[in-house]
Amino acid sequence: MNDESREPFKRLFFALDCAPAQRKAIAQWRGALQLRSGRPVPVENFHLTLKFLGAVAVGQIADICTAVASVRTPDARLTVALDRLDVWRRAGVLVLAPEQAPPALLRLVYDLEQALLPFGLEDAPREFRPHLTLARDYRAPVPESTSSPEFFLRADRFTLFESHKGRYRALADWPLGAA
């Protein structure tokens, strides 16, 4: 076994965090769905993933943060409408997603992906599909709702999170717009 394979790592992802009041509103709406399938995502973990990195060597994190600091960000904070409830059958998740992703969000993700290319963190690129996961291991049709989802995730920064034992911890963040 070489030294590199023993280097400690962290499971990382970039995301737009969800404000506490927004989390509460989404959780209440999800509760009204009376889900009979899946495992609800803990309310404190609600976020919109920009880029999943997976297992990253601890020694690479500072370099990743430096590279991401040069990413061109939108001129204003981002607002993403989460106005569609959907089931992604292959992934087994129930999600809130935008009917239409804002162009500024798509540009941010593209620029983030470009900044991370030199690190070789991904075997095969995945298509970016913005969403907020409501439940995992979901194996039922899209649930009926008495009210349509009409949530607006407003972000003035994007964050690098560590996922550890089901909890997410912010490691660093970068402002969006003229902050």
Which residues of the chain carry a pLDDT beneath 50? 1-3, 179
137 Rama sector, left if φ>0, alpha if ψ -120 to 50, beta otherwise: left
Residue 123: the pLDDT is 63
Confidence (pTM): 0.91
Q: Mind telling me the catalytic residues?
A: 47, 131
**Nearest CA-CA partner of 94 in 55, 52, 149:** 149
Residue 120: the pLDDT is 86
Distance CA 78, CA 27 (A): 21
Residue 1: the pLDDT is 41
Distance CA 25, CA 30 (A): 9
